[in-house]
Amino acid sequence: MPNTLRKPERLNRKKVIEKMFAGGSRSFSVFPLRVVYLSVEELEAPASILVSVSKRRFKRAVKRNRVKRQIREAYRMNKHELLRVLEEKQCRLAIAFIYLSDQLVESSVIENRMKTALARIAESV
């Protein structure tokens, strides 16, 4: 599998996003990330992600974009195990990664936490 993050893997449907945050979804924290996920059948890819960094935490767009880039990169490099499990069970997930910290964190920390988060999602599916 290539290490890419194509358009179908990015969550952009408003109805799905509203359904995720209205209730019925599952969530957990792996600081500095909060992970919210929901099983959805109308998605094209096995897993579609949404990355959110609050403007309240980082006023400057440069810092928000840096954090979003770090999260997307960590997901892109470590998504294969989760996708394999989802393919086996023929399940489709919408996943939101929400950044909780007020501080910028090194990419290695985010990558380690992303591995933990993806493993927890894979075992709960």
Whole-prediction pTM:
0.95
Predicted confidence at residue 101, as pLDDT, reads 97
Radius of gyration for the alpha carbons in the chain, expressed in angstroms and rounded: 14
Give the model confidence (pLDDT) of 95-123 as tens digits.
999 999 999 999 999 999 999 999 999 99
How many Cβ atoms sit within 10 Å of the Cβ of residue 11? 21
Three-state helix/strand/coil letters over the chain: CCCCCCHHHECCCHHHHHHHHHCCCEEEEECCEEEEEEECCCCCCCEEEEEEECCCCCCCHHHHHHHHHHHHHHHHHHCHHHHHHHHHHCCCEEEEEEECCCCCCCHHHHHHHHHHHHHHHHHHC
* Model confidence at 1: pLDDT above 70: no
Domains of the chain: 7-124 (3.30.230.10)
Predicted confidence at residue 24, as pLDDT, reads 87
Give the model confidence (pLDDT) of 73-95 as tens digits.
999 999 999 999 999 999 999 99
Q: Which amino acid is at 22?
A: A
Give the model confidence (pLDDT) of 7-25 as tens digits.
999 999 999 999 999 988 9
Give the model confidence (pLDDT) of 29-76 as tens digits.
999 999 999 999 989 999 999 999 999 999 999 999 999 999 999 999
- Which residues are 37's β-sheet partners? 26, 95
Q: Which two tokens stand for residue 39?
A: 């099983």
